Amino acid sequence: MTIQVIVRRLLFLITVVWSASTITFFIPRISAKNPVRERFAALSRSGGFAPADMEKIIAAYNTKFGLDKPVLEQYVDYIASIARFDLGVSFNLYPKTVIELITESLPWTFTLLLVTTILSFILGNLLGAVAAWPRAPQWLRAIATPFILLQGVPPAIMAILLLFFIAFRLKLAPLGSAYSTGVIPDWSSPAFIWDVVHHQLLPALALLLGSIGGWVLSMRGMGITIQGEDYVNFAEHKGLSGPVIFKDYYLRNALLPQVTGLALALGTVVTNGVIIENIFGLPGLGRVLGAAIGSNDFLVIYGVVLFITIAVATLMVFVEFLYPLLDPRVRNE
C-alpha cells in the first residue's frame, strides 16, 4: 500500500466526518423546533406552572447556547467546537458534558460489541466455509442451516425471545441491567466481575445469534465459488492433505472479501448494539442515546450520534488498512 492510497483514504475519512457533522447540524435546524423552548415546555408541563417571564428566560438561554446567531455563524462555531472535541452539555444531567457521558458509557458498549462481533465473524465464517466444503462430514455441514434460517431475525427480536424463554421461563439469566441491584460496583472483586459477565451473557447471545447467519450465508457462497478455482484443483492434484487445502488454499482466499464485508457491517453492528442496550437496560452509549431521546436532551442525541458515526467511519477505513496484511498482492503493489 503506497502513501498515495493512505492519503486518499484519510481524505475520504475527513470528507465523511465533515458530511456527517454537517448533516447532524442542518437537519435539526430545518425543523421549527427550538430545543430550549421544548425543554422549558416539558418542565412547565411536569411542574404544573409556567413562569410569567418564560419568553425572557428562553431568549436568555438562546443567547447562551448561541441559538440566536445567524445559522452560518453557528455552523462555523459548531465545526470548530467539534475539532476541539467539544460536543456541548447535557440539558438533563447539567453540568455533565456530552463528552463525559460518552467516555463513561463507551467501555460498556465497546467491550460488548467487540467480543460479539469478533466471535460472530470467526464462528460464522468457519461454519459457512465448512458448509460449502464437500469433504466435511454431513452432520458438520448441517449445523449451518439453522443459523441461515435465523438470519432474517433482527437481534432486537432475538433479545425479546431470549428474555422470555431463558430469563423469564427458565430463570437462567437476569432480566436486564448491568449488575444485580444493590451491588456496589467494585472492579477488584471477582464476584462483581462475574456478576457483570452473567448480566452480559444474554445481550451477547442475542447479538451473536442475530448476526452469525449473515456471515454463514456469505461465506458459504464465497466457498462455493472458490472451490471451482484452478489453484484449488491444482492443490488437490499435488496430493496436499484436506486440512492444508482447507486452511491455506480455500479459507484464506475466501476470507478476503469477508474482511471488506466486516468493514461494511460495522454500521449495522452499532445499530443493533444501541437497540439491544435499550432492551436490556445496559449502561452504554445506546442507553445514553435512548434516555436522551426520552427526555428531549438534544445536544446529547446529536453528540452521541456524531461520535458513533465518526467512530464507525474511522474503524471502516482502518479495517481497510488491515487488508495488505492479509493479501500479499495488495502489499506488493
Partner 1 sequence: MTTTTLDRTAFLQPSPMTLMGRYLRRNKSLAVGLLILLLLVLFTANGLATVDAENAYPLSVKTKQVPSVEFPLGTDYYGRDLYVAMVVGLWQTALIGVLAGALGTLVGVVLGFISAYFGGWLDAVIKGICQILTPIPAFLIQVIIAGSLDKRDVTIYTMAFVVVLLAWMGPTLVIRSQVLTMKERQFVAVAKLSGMGDLGIIFREIFPNLLPFIAAAFVGQVFFAVFQSFYLAVLGLGPLREPLLGNTIWNANGASAFFNNWWWWPMAPAFALVLILGSLALINMGMDEIANPRIRRTE
User: Nearer to partner 1 by C-beta: 41 or 256?
Assistant: 41
Spatial contact of 205 and 162, defined as CB atoms under 8 Å apart: yes
By CB under 8 A, the residues from 250 to 269 that bind partner 1 are 264, 266-268
By CB under 8 A, the residues from 171 to 210 that bind partner 1 are 175-176
CA dist list (Å): 118 to 129, 200, 206, 263: 16, 16, 14, 12
Question: Which residues lie below 8 Å from residue 182, measured CB to CB, with a gap of 6+?
Answer: none
- What DSSP designation does 146 have? H
| Closest separation in Å from C-beta 161 to partner 1 | 6
Q: What is the CA radius of gyration of the chain?
A: 25
Q: Which of 164, 194, 234, 321 is the binder for partner 1 (CB under 8 A)?
A: 164
Burial 135-168 (b: 16+ CB within 10 A, else e): ebeeeebeebeebbebbeebbbebbeebbeebbe
Does 154 participate in binding partner 1 (rule CB under 8 A)? yes
| Closest separation in Å from C-beta 285 to partner 1 | 11
- The contact mask relative to partner 1 for 97-136 (x = CB under 8 A, - = no) is ----------------------------------------
| Closest separation in Å from C-beta 259 to partner 1 | 15
- Could you tell me which stretch among 74-82, 88-96, 236-244, 293-301 binds partner 1 (CB under 8 A)? 293-301
By CB under 8 A, the residues from 29 to 88 that bind partner 1 are 30-33
Question: Which residues lie below 8 Å from residue 241, measured CB to CB, with a gap of 6+?
Answer: none
The most distant pair of C-alpha atoms in the chain lies apart, rounded to whole Å, by: 89
- Could you tell me which stretch among 58-66, 76-84, 252-260, 296-304 binds partner 1 (CB under 8 A)? 296-304
Phi (first) and psi of residue 89, to 5 degrees: -120, 160
| Closest separation in Å from C-beta 52 to partner 1 | 25
Does 293 participate in binding partner 1 (rule CB under 8 A)? yes
Does 294 participate in binding partner 1 (rule CB under 8 A)? yes
Q: Which three cell numbers stand for residue 144?
A: 449451518
- The contact mask relative to partner 1 for 5-34 (x = CB under 8 A, - = no) is -------x--xx--xx--xx--xx-xxxx-
Estimate the crossing angle of helix 252-280 against helix 285-294, to 10 degrees: 40
Spatial contact of 147 and 127, defined as CB atoms under 8 Å apart: yes
* H-run or E-run covering 8: helix 3-30
Does 271 participate in binding partner 1 (rule CB under 8 A)? yes
Would you mind telling me the total number of residues written for the chain in this entry? 333
Distance (Å, whole) CA 317 – CA 299:
27
Q: Which of 275, 282, 288, 299 is the binder for partner 1 (CB under 8 A)?
A: 275
Q: Which of 127, 208, 278, 284 is the binder for partner 1 (CB under 8 A)?
A: 278
Q: Rounded to the nearest 5 degrees, what angle is found at the Cα of 131, between the Cα atoms of 130 and 132?
A: 90
**Which chain residues interact with partner 1 by CB under 8 A?**
12, 15-16, 19-20, 23-24, 27-28, 30-33, 149, 151-154, 156-157, 160-161, 163-164, 167-168, 175-176, 264, 266-268, 270-271, 274-275, 278-279, 289-290, 293-294, 298, 301-302, 305, 308-309, 312-313, 316-317
